[in-house]
Structure 1
Amino acid sequence: MTRMRRLTAGLALALLAAGCSATGRPVDLASIASAQRPEPVGVVVNPPATTGAAAQVPECDPAASLRPAGLPGPGAMPAGSTMRTIQDRGRLIAGVDQNTFLFGFRDPTSNTIAGFDIDRVREIAAAIFGDPNKVQFKVITSAERIPALQKGEVDIVVRTMTATCARWVDINFSAIYYVAGQRVLVDKSSQITGVDQLGGQRVCATKGSTSLNKLRESPAPPVAVAVDNWSDCLLMLQQGQVAAVSTDDTILAGMIAQDPNVKMVGARFTQEPYGIGIPKANVDMVRFVNAVLEKSINSGSWATSYGTWLTEAVGQVAPPTLKYRD
């Protein structure tokens, strides 16, 4: 045993001596130049296509929701209604984002979730309770929006969610509270000027988003790179791991506000009508939320919220015209 320890000590000394150069400087075994920057967790290249619906998709007007049926006073929700269940629970549970600047993001100064979408959530809470703060925010990814509603994990989802006929199969939507359009974001040094120049190049979008499907339909389809959050796309663009990000111009405007070294290019090539997601069975909640949206637009609250979050980044727009199917 003693002999073995001496051999081990001698070997260690020999290795230490060999590791020193003639100049006395240690050998650097790391080759920084060849190291690749790590990608965000959960990156999927060319994910399988999905319609977002579990059944055959009927034709519809995805922007048309259910007509409001009156707005009861706060704290006086009708017995047996979805809203009364929420009132008795004492809080509204809302699926939101915390990574999309301007719409749903965590404010580093207050450590609270804020944004244009979050204002819509607080309006609904105020209508039920008389208190906009009686909300439990549940942070979810784009891909988790519909499952969260189907499983009853949330009462509503307000997360830059485009209303489509495919999604109407699985959930209900409120009337449209904002209309965006898909565009392209690139580094300021890039020569790309639009979606038609992205063929064969890596382009980032989130899992479960309509943006991925629209990229596949492009005349020059890119290599789709799917991530969990839009902040992951901005990071990959900054690190040169993708040539572009493509999604709604409002989301891209938030990225530009965070990084002046990127730019939006090309015209809108889609229309993205945002609706509030609601479980399929809760028809009364759809009508209630639409009454809240009507009040928000008519009272000027919508315009105030838009001015706070979006006017500087996107420009002035009028509130959408609420549309109903019944």
Structure 2
Amino acid sequence: MDNIFTQRIKRTLSYLEEQKLDVAMITSPTNIYYLTGFYCDPLERFMALVFDVEKGIVQLFVPSIDLESAAKATGMDGLTPISDMDQPYTILKNWVGRSISQLGVEKKMMSLFQAERLKECFSDVRFVDVEEFITSMRLIKSSEDIQIVRRAIEVIEKVLQHGVSKVVPGVTELEITAELEYQMKVLGADRPAFETILLSGPQSALPHGRPGQRKIQSGEFLLFDLGVFVDGYCSDITRTFVVGEASEEQKSMYDAVLQGNLRGIEAVQAGKSFGEVDRAAREYIESAGYGQYFIHRLGHGLGLDVHEAPSIHGQNEMTMQPGMLFTIEPGVYISGVGGIRIEDDVFIGEDGKANVLTTYPKHLIEL
């Protein structure tokens, strides 16, 4: 039986044949990993997974310095190393060996430079976007994918617990952030999934603020937003605490966000739209009087990228399906006071219901 990567390659090749494309070129390192099991960041170097649809051949063009690692990839017919002195587009043209009229590409990934070089190689070619097909495959996670995500979540929740244990008034945001990111490595993460967010007091009202030298003080919100990659897949969790005793205003804000989070999760059901999930959370927060302070979408897809399809907002009428993985993360942000966000990673099981993969407590915790 073919392994998962060979199955994905064959499925992609069948799609390209149906679309009557001559050749297709995948250049996103993440999509190449999804299809082959090989990942590297080529930086400015050329890397592409090329499908010769007419011949039924799949070739990985890879920087020479990564050739040995790429040899472990599966599902391809061969490897072509590209040295720093080579002309990669000439090598690609010679490998194809003929004129082509339709070339499949990921249009969001393609630069003007790449388009011009490809036009020089294949003067009459028309570019056809194939990224939507790759995205549609990545939308549905396998049981194996979810097991890896669970490991990434297990790591990040241990990291979070460690970071929380280090919180005392007077320590800086960056000092706690350093503890968090060191612990990620200690616990076996490949790397952070994104730049760790640790914000205190009024700074927590910045949804994507950056930690700094500000000292954590009693009576303030403290927001952690962090995630890690493990074996290519990532986790993403946000929890907000109060340092010391919470005020009534802080309790009210927190409860509105928590109930919005719970109502969003309750609305998850295969066959319904993502817009319904956003509206369920948002309408509660509005009813609690904080609607104007909920200033972003409810969530986003999660997997090989920390932000991928679907985008969970009130206008998205995409139908939920078993196998989809995404975050639910309502937030309330009041300038000068602080912000709260509660984020869970949610998977739709075969029964069509929500499985909340994150387990870290989300009731209001006073540190």
Give TM-score, length-normalised by structure 2.
0.23
Relative contact order: is structure 1 or structure 2 higher (C-alpha 8 Å, sep ≥ 6)?
1
Give TM-score, length-normalised by structure 1.
0.25
